[in-house]
Amino acid sequence: MRAAVIVVDMLKDSFKEEHRLPITKEAKPIIPRINNLLKEARTLGLPVIFACDSFLPDDFIFKGKMKPHSLRGTEGAEIIDELEVGEEDEILPKRRFSAFFKTDLDQTLRTWGIDTVAICGIATTVCVLMTAMDALSHDFSAFILEDCCAAHKQEVHETTLENYRKFALYPLFRIMTSEEFLGEVETSKKEKGARQFT
């Protein structure tokens, strides 16, 4: 397994109290968990990608009930200060929900030899899930890290994940904790190292 971590939409506008979805309360507890995940991931040599909403004021999606937010070039589209961003991390602007849609993410991952993505951030029900589904559509294994994601309500988060725990594409698509993911990465590295000496 050659994995990368994708952090979705942990942006300043998403944490403002006036945001359309009351996700701030649910998402704050995952911040230290994501920081821990990223620290361990970097230690293991995993690439980290921050997939960030970067909308234009007249974007199509704002013609519905969604209010303009995370506008390109504004402070609201920046990653929250509480998250530790490494110099080697990739910042990936995106105009729609999936981190793959009309971005160069697919090409970037293939350049790095990645075959698996672990996805965290907000919201579980939309951008996290759609990024995972698009990862599968691009022939990458996709893991949603349940302890590092949040939706606007805890029960919505849990119900969404429960719907996919026994998904037909297991083990290509899995719901797991960040600890389980890091454990699998470590095991994979040890196995690869052992093969090199046999």
Q: What is the pLDDT of residue 24?
A: 75
pLDDT at 111: 97
- Coil vs helix vs strand at 11: strand
pLDDT tens, residue order, the chain (198 aa): 999 999 999 999 988 876 555 677 889 999 999 999 999 999 999 999 999 999 999 999 999 888 888 999 999 999 999 999 999 999 999 999 999 999 999 999 999 999 999 999 999 999 999 999 999 999 999 999 999 999 989 999 999 999 999 899 999 999 999 999 999 999 988 887 666 544
DSSP string, 40-92: HHHHTT--EEEEEE-B-TT-GGGGSSPPP-SBTTSGGGSBPTTS---TT-EEE
Q: What is residue 190's predicted lDDT score, i.e. its pLDDT?
A: 84
Count CB atoms within 10 A of the CB of residue 66. Answer: 12
pLDDT of residue 67: 85
DSSP 156-193: HHHHHHHHHTT-TTTTTEEEE-HHHHHHHHHHHHHHHH
The pLDDT value recorded for residue 173 is 97
What's residue 19's pLDDT? 58
For each of the domains in the chain, give its residue range(s) and CATH number, in order of start: 3-196 (3.40.50.850)
